[in-house]
Each structure stands twice: as C-alpha cells, then as structure tokens.
Amino acid sequence: MTTSFLRVAHRGGSRLAPENTLAAFRNALTLPVDAIEMDVHMSRDGFPVVIHDNTVERLTNGEGNILDLDLASLRSLNAAAHFPGGWPIEEQIPTLREVLDLTQGRVQVLIEIKTSLRDGVEGRYPNIAEAVVNELRATSMLELAIIISFDWQVLPIVKALEPTLATGALVSDSLWNPLAEHAIDTLIEQIKPLGCEWISLDHKLYTPDIPTLLHAQDLRLGLWTVNTLERLQYFAAAGVDALTTDRPDFFSQVWVDD
C-alpha cells in the first residue's frame, strides 16, 4: 500500500487549528502530510502575510481591509479569535517568511497568491509575485513550492521571475463549466499557455475521465477541499495527484493499493 498522491493540509488543517496560523502549520507537521497550503495577501506597507480573506473580521478581533492595514496593525490582531470551540492562546497573522522558516526543508508548500478586493472590484497587489519569489529564494524553498492562484495571469509572471517554480491554476465553477461541450479540452487550451504544471480543481467538478485526460497533456491534477475520509480514499484510488483537506489527520487512513 502506498500514498502516491501529494497530501496537502489546507490552510494548515483549518478544522484542527486556527487556519493559516503558525499553530495550524506546526500541527500539520506532526501529521502524515507532504505539503501545507496557505493564502498570501500583501499588507499596506508591502509585506506578504498569510491570511485567507480580504478583510480581517471573520478570523480576528479586528476590522478592516488588508489593503488598508500595515504589518504592525495586522500583527496586533488575534487570528484565533473566532476559532470554533475556542482556542487557548492568541495567534498572530504570520508573515510568509515565518511560515517558510517553519517549514523549510520539511514539507512542500502550496502558496495561493490572492487578489485584493475593494467595493467588489478585484485587483492585484503591487509586486506580490516578486515578493513571494524573493521569500522563496531567501529560504531556499524554490524547489519545494507550488504557486497557485485563481488569478491565472499572475502565474506567467511567476514563471518569468523564476522558471523553475511549479505553478498551478485554481479552477472553480465560476471559471469553468464541466458540463459545457468539450469542457476539458477547453480548459486545457486555456491552461497550457500559462506554463502551469498543475490544475487545482474544486473536487465537486471532478469527473472520472479528468485524470487520464490531464496526464496525457503532462498536467497534474489536484483536488480541493476534500473533508471526508470516504471521499479522500475515493479520489486517492482514482489517480489524483494531490488532495487538499481541512482534516489532514485523515491521511493516516488513506492509501492506494499497490
């Protein structure tokens, strides 16, 4: 029995510890994972910070848009303030460098480059690709990183900065309709020019033919966010290349028969 797929802790395993905090990432490192996934925004003063939302209300005891908050303000907040069931100590919003320092040489990292958002209008943080690449270089993590994004056009920018970096296009139902005619062919035609190695798909969009079709085009398939043991086992047996879950503790019970 083997685990031939990449086992990814989503936001460090957000059902087990406050998401995207060092507490979550430390916990993930005690579990059978190959990679941790995190989300990166930019503080107002230009620091890459690890948090999912464009605003801080859902996760912290503060308020405001990441666009308006400098690093010191973000660091003053408790990122565990609303963890279900409570959390015994306060947790800071970490910088990307802190997470890379923690994981350096221990696991792979999936770094989702997020878009900014104000008044319903999406944008791209200035120099966010450069900042992420620079931090990976500084921590010698280039070979252990996969850069993913729903902002597909940032991925060729990453490749231009560092051609050795693996990249992946995130795909949701707002970007792709699997029921459309020639749906998978259309998706491949859109993704291939970006230079990606990965397509990271909402698991609800999965159909059994997708792994074979993507592998024939030298593309690897990741699925998110799979949170039941039954579905993790099903997708592992189906030949998926990576599975992302909020419950990385389940991976100890997931395998592929030799």
The DSSP string of the chain is -B--SEEEEGGGTTTTSSTTSHHHHHHHTTSS-SEEEEEEEE-TTS-EEE-SSSBSTTTSS--SBGGG--HHHHHTS-TTTT-TT--SS--PPPBHHHHHHHHTTTSEEEEEEPPEEETTEEE--TTHHHHHHHHHHHTT-GGGEEEEES-TTHHHHHHHH-TTSEEEEEE-TTT--TTSTTHHHHHHHHHGGGT-SEEEEEGGG--TTHHHHHHTTT-EEEEE---SHHHHHHHHHTT-SEEEES-GGGGGG--B--
pLDDT under 50: residue ranges of the chain = 1
How far apart CA 63 and CA 209 sit, in angstroms, is 44
Give residue 258's pLDDT.
64
The predicted structure's pLDDT at residue 257: 77
pTM exceeding the 0.85 threshold for the entire prediction? yes
What domains, with CATH codes, occur in the chain? 6-253 (3.20.20.190)
In the residue annotation, 52 being an active-site residue is answered as yes
Residue of 10, 82, 203, 215 with catalytic role: 10
pLDDT at position 2, please?
57
> What pLDDT does 222 receive?
98
The full DSSP string for 172-200 is -TTT--TTSTTHHHHHHHHHGGGT-SEEE
10 is catalytic: yes
Q: Active site residue: 41, 52, 82, 182, which one?
A: 52
